[in-house]
Amino acid sequence: MIGEKEGDGMPYVDVEGIEAVEVQEGKRLVLAIEEDAGVDILHRCGGYAKCTTCRIEYLEGEPDKMTKAEFEVLERKDLLGRVRLSCQAVADHDAKVRPLATVSSTGAERPGRKPEPEIMYLSLSGSKSQPETGP
């Protein structure tokens, strides 16, 4: 259960079925799930809000805002309101999450390209930029 531990102010990420772990504030959530919680979450596109394989369900602590890139891909794939993208979120508060696609649950050979430390958006022209915050 998140919020029960006394820490030094760093956020906890509690992946369902795994003990909550304290993570560096501002760390990309997909990396916190993979590196800190040790879950083999998929991130096929490398964290660019394209593949939606890093999808999670928030059980607690869902942020109100999302990046424009997350909004657009979830809307396009009819996933808005059903899942969130862990590559488009940072660990800046306690949260409990359920990863929905992992290497072990899907039989994938590998999780995908390693996401960069910062949330990035890849435009259709291939240029990288910081994403805007969506609606």
Tokens for 1?
A: 């259960």
Pick from 32, 33, 37, 43: which binds ligand FES (CB under 6 A)? 43
87 binds ligand FES (CB under 6 A): yes
Pick from 52, 66, 89, 90: which binds ligand FES (CB under 6 A)? 52
53 binds ligand FES (CB under 6 A): yes
101 binds ligand FES (CB under 6 A): no
Q: Buried b vs exposed e over 53-80: b needs ≥16 C-beta within 10 Å?
A: bbbbebeebeeeebbebbbbbbeeeeee
Query: Is the CB of 10 or the CB of 122 nearer to ligand FES?
Result: 122
Strand partners, 97: 15, 58
Alpha-carbon span 124 to 32, nearest angstrom: 27
98 binds ligand FES (CB under 6 A): no
Q: How many CB atoms within 10 Å of residue 5?
A: 12
Where do contacts with ligand FES occur on this chain (CB under 6 A)? 43-45, 47, 49-54, 85, 87
